[in-house]
Structure 1
Amino acid sequence: MKTKIIFFLAIIVLVVGGDWYYLSHKNKNKTTEDIKIKIGYLPVANALPLYLAIDKGYFSEVGLKVEPIKFESPNQIVDALIAGNIEFSSPSTGMGVTAVSQAKNPNTLKVFALNGGAGPNNIDNVFLIKKDSVISSVNDLKGKKVGIIPGIQWKILAQHIFDTEGLAVDKDVTIVELALPMQLQALAMGQIDALLTLEPTKVIGESQDAVRDLVVGPMMKYIADPWWGGGGVVSVEFAINNRETTKKVIAVFDRSIKEITADPDSSRQYLKNYTPLTEEQTKLVPLPIFKMYTDFQDSDMAALQKFFDIFAQYKVIDNKVDARQLIYSD
C-alpha cells in the first residue's frame, strides 16, 4: 500500500513539475518574441531618423517589428496617438498640435525628440513662390492665395506671419490647406500664389526649375530661432504599460539621430524610400537639426515655449502650455 502511495505521489510531482516547466518556458519565450510597434510620420525630411532606423534594421536588432504609418497632416498623427492607433511618432510630428493636445488632453503625450531649423544650413521650413512670379515680399500677397500643410499648426503659423506683416487672414490673404503631394502642382497651376511648407518640397520644386524663395527660413524669422517645429512623440498610456519597449524604441531613435548628426551626407540616402525624392535630389535636401530629450537646453525650451504661446495668443487654447511638462523622462 505504501509503495502505491509513493508511486502516485511521484506521478503527481512529475505532472505538476512538467506543467510548471512548460509554463515557465512558454512565458520566458513569450517575453523574447518580436513586439510590433506602429510609428506615424509625415513624408518629409524631418522623419529621417525613422527612415534610417528601419532601413538599417536597428529596430529589428532589439526585437521590435515596426510598421511605419504615413499621414498627410500633423493633426492626423496626434489624433492617431490619442486614439491608440499608433504608439509613437517620428520627429515629424507638429509641436504646435502636440501643445494643443496637451491643453485639451493633459498628460496623454510626451516628447522625446525635437527637430527644426537654426542657421543657414538647417532650414527645414520654406516659403515659396513660382520662379517667374512678380511677388517680391510677403506684403505682395495681399489679395492672393497661400497654400499650407493641413491642420491647426500651420493655420496659426500662417496667421501669425501675416499679422506681423499687417495682413489679415481671410480679408487680405486666403489660406488653402493642401496635402503635401498636391502642393507643387497647385502652385504650378496657379491655384495658389505662394506655399508655406517643409522640405523636401523646395528641393523637388527647384529640380523642376519651378520655384524660388519668398522668405528664407520663415519660421526662424517670424516664430522662434531656433525653430523646433517638429518632434518625436510617445503615447503616455503606452509608455506606462510598456516601459522596456518604450526605452528600446527611444534608444533606437537616439542611435539614429546620433548617426545623422555625425554623418548627414551618408544619411540622406534613406529619404528616397519614404518621400518623393530621387536619389540625386536626396543629396540636395538641407537636413533639420535633431535633438533627443537628454540634450535639450534651456534655450531650446525657451524657443519651444515662445512657439507654444502663440496658440494661446490666438485663442486656440485657453491657457498657455508649459513646454517642460511635455518632455519625456525615463
Structure 2
Amino acid sequence: MKNSVSSDSPTVLSVRRRQLLKGATAAAGSLALPAYVRAQSSPKIRIGYWPVASGLPFYAAVEKGYFKEAGLDVEAQKHASAQQAMEAMLSGRAEGSANGVATAVLAVGEIAQPGLMKIFCSNPTNARYVLDEFIVAKDSTLKSVADLKGMRIACGPGVQNVTIAKTILERAGLGRMSVRELPIAQHVAAIAAGQVDAVYTLEPTGTVGRLNGATRVLEAGVVAKYILGDPMAPWFGGSATLTSEFIKAHPDAARKFIAAYRRGVELVKKTPAQARPYLKGYTAIEGALTAEVPMSDYVYYDEFKPRDIAYFQQYFDLFTEKGIFAKKLSVESMLYKG
C-alpha cells in the first residue's frame, strides 16, 4: 500500500504556501514596474522660497492646487534668506526656487557649479511694479535716499541685498557706507525700536510698517532708479528656477511644473484680487491687509525681449564689477529654453 499524504498535512500546506507566496511575489513584481515609473515621472519637487510678496504666483499655485492637478508632488520650503534657498539646490536638498529668491544669489550658485539651474520666470520691478524700497520711521523728516548720509542703515541678509543697498547709497552721492544685515521680519521692528534709521527692504515689509503706523516708504523702485538709471527699467531681482539636473532627469515633470506655475503667474497678473489672499501664511501680512501690497510684474522665459535681457545683464554686470561674481555671467545662458 502506497503511503498517502493528507491534503491538510504540513507537507502539502507548506507546498501550497510556497506556491501562494510565489504567485503573490510574481503579482507584486508585475505591479512594481508601473509604480516605479509613476514615482520616476512624478517625483517630489522641493521648491525654496523667501517670504516676500513677489513669490505670490508660487504661493497661489500651491494653495489653488495647480500642481496637484498636474499630478505633481510639490513641497514648499521656507528659507530665512535667498542664500539658503540657493544652497539647498547646490546640496541637492531642493529642485528649484520660487519667484522672489534673489537672482544675484542664484547666480553665485551658478558660478560655483556651472549649469546648476535654469530661470523659467523672473519678477521685474520698478517704480510701477514695486518690490524694493527704503523705509524710515513714520515721523522721520527724511525726504529721499540722498538724506541718509551718516545714518544707520540696514538691509536684508545676503550678498544681493548688501551690494544693492551700498550701491544705491553710493550712486545717491553718499559715498561708501556700512550696512547692517537683518532678517526681513525684523526690519520694521528695528526702525520702531530706534536701532536703525532706514532699511533697504522688500515688500510686504513697507506695507506692514505703513499699516501698523510704524514706518513709511522713503523711496520705492530704488534699484531701477539708482542702479539701472531709469525708474521704469525692469529690475529682475528675483527668479523662479529648476535645477538642470531635475530638468534632465524628469523632463516631463519639469514641463508640467513650469506650466502649472504659469497658471499662478496668470492668476496674479489677470486677477490679482483673487491671488492676494495667498500671501497669508507665506509672508508677514495677513487677512484683509493683503489687498494693500503692491504687485511685481512677471516675465516667463519665452517672453523676454532684447531690452529685458540687456537690463538683466546690466544688473549682473554690477556684481562682476563689485567683485561678487568671480567671472562675468551671461543671463541668456541661465534662461530655460523650453
Cα deviations across residues 154-206 of structure 1 (Å, max 9, x unaligned)?
1111121122123233xxx3311111111111111111110111100011111
Which of these residues, 128, 138, 160, is aligned with residue 131 of structure 1? 138
Cα deviation, residue 213, structure 1: 2.0
Say whether residues 1:321 and 2:329 are aligned partners: yes
Whether the aligned pair in 2 keeps the contact of 1:138 and 1:165 (CA below 8 Å) is: yes
Contact 2:134 2:145 in 1 (8 A): no
Asked if residue 106 in structure 1 is aligned to residue 114 in structure 2, the reply is yes
Partner residue, 1:12: none
Tell me, yes or no, if structure 1 residue 82 matches structure 2 residue 90: yes
* 1:152 correspondence with 2:156: no
Matches within 5 A, 1:296-315: 296-315=304-323
Aligned residues: 312
Q: Retained in 1: the 8 A contact 2:132–2:221? A: yes
Q: Which residue of 2 aligns with 1:268?
A: 276
CA distance, structure 1, for counterparts of residue 51 and residue 337 of structure 2 = 27
Give the aligned partner of residue 181 of structure 1: 185
Structure 1: gaps (5+ residues): 1-14
Q: CA deviation at 1:23?
A: 3.3
2:81 matched to 1:73? yes
Q: Per the alignment, in what secondary structure is the counterpart of residue 165 of structure 1? A: helix
1:25 to 31, 45, 48: 31
- Counterpart mapping for 1:184-195 below 5 A: 184-195=188-199
Q: How far apart, CA to CA, are the structure 2 residues paired with 1:238 and 1:188?
A: 44
With normalisation by structure 2, the TM-score equals 0.87
Counterparts of 1:215 and 1:276, CA distance in 2: 21
Tell me how far apart the structure 2 counterparts of residues 93 and 86 of structure 1 sit (CA, whole Å). 13
Q: 2:304, 2:25 → 1: CA distance?
A: 51
In the other structure, the counterpart of 2:256 is 248
Give the whole-Å Cα distance in 1 for the aligned partners of 2:34 and 2:327.
Answer: 48
> For 2:285 and 2:106, how far apart are their aligned partners in 1?
28
Aligned to 2:50: 42
State the Cα deviation string for residues 259-279 of structure 1 (Å, max 9, x = none): 211111111111112112121
Pairwise CA distance, 1:136: 2.2
Please report how far the alpha carbon of residue 106 of structure 1 lies from its aligned counterpart in structure 2 after TM superposition: 1.4
Q: TM-score, normalised by structure 1?
A: 0.89
CA drift of 1:87 comes to 0.6
Match of 1:221 in 2: 225
Q: Distance in 1 between matches of 2:161 and 2:178?
A: 13
Secondary structure at the aligned position of 1:255 is classed as helix
User: Does residue 283 in structure 1 map to residue 287 in structure 2?
Assistant: no
Partners of 2:95 and 2:265 in 1: CA distance: 19
Who wins on radius of gyration, i.e. which is larger?
Answer: 2
Query: C-alpha displacement at 1:17, in angstroms?
Result: 11
SS in 1 for 2:98: strand
Deviation at residue 77 of structure 1 after TM alignment: 1.0
RMSD in angstroms over aligned alpha carbons? 2.0
**1:60-86 residue CA offsets vs partner (Å, 9 max, x unmatched):** 112222221111111111111111111
Mapped pair 1:231 → 2:235:
no
- Pair 102,29 (structure 1): closer, same or farther in 2 beyond 3 Å: closer
| CA deviation vs aligned residue, 1:200-239 (integer Å, no higher than 9, x gap) | 0011111111222221211110123111100001111222
Unaligned stretches of 5+ residues in structure 2: 1-20
Q: Describe the SS at the equivalent of 1:92.
A: coil
Aligned to 1:8: none
Q: Comparing both structures, which one devotes a greater share of its residues to strand?
A: 1
Other structure's SS at 2:238 match: strand
Distance 1:325 1:182 in 2: 36
* Residues 1:115 and 2:123 aligned together: yes
Measure the CA separation in 2 of the matches of 1:212 and 1:303: 29
Amino acid in structure 2 at the alignment position of 1:78: M
Matched AA of 1:104: A
CA shift, 1:98, in A, is 1.9
1:95 is matched with: 103
Deviating more after overlay: 199-208 vs 97-106: 97-106
Residue 30 of structure 1, CA deviation:
3.0
Question: What is the alpha-carbon distance in structure 1 between the residues aligned to residue 25 and residue 337 of structure 2?
Answer: 41
Which residue of 1 is the match for residue 175 of structure 2? 168
Rounded Cα–Cα distance in structure 2 between residues aligned with 1:229 and 1:279: 26
Question: Percent sequence identity over matched residues?
Answer: 34
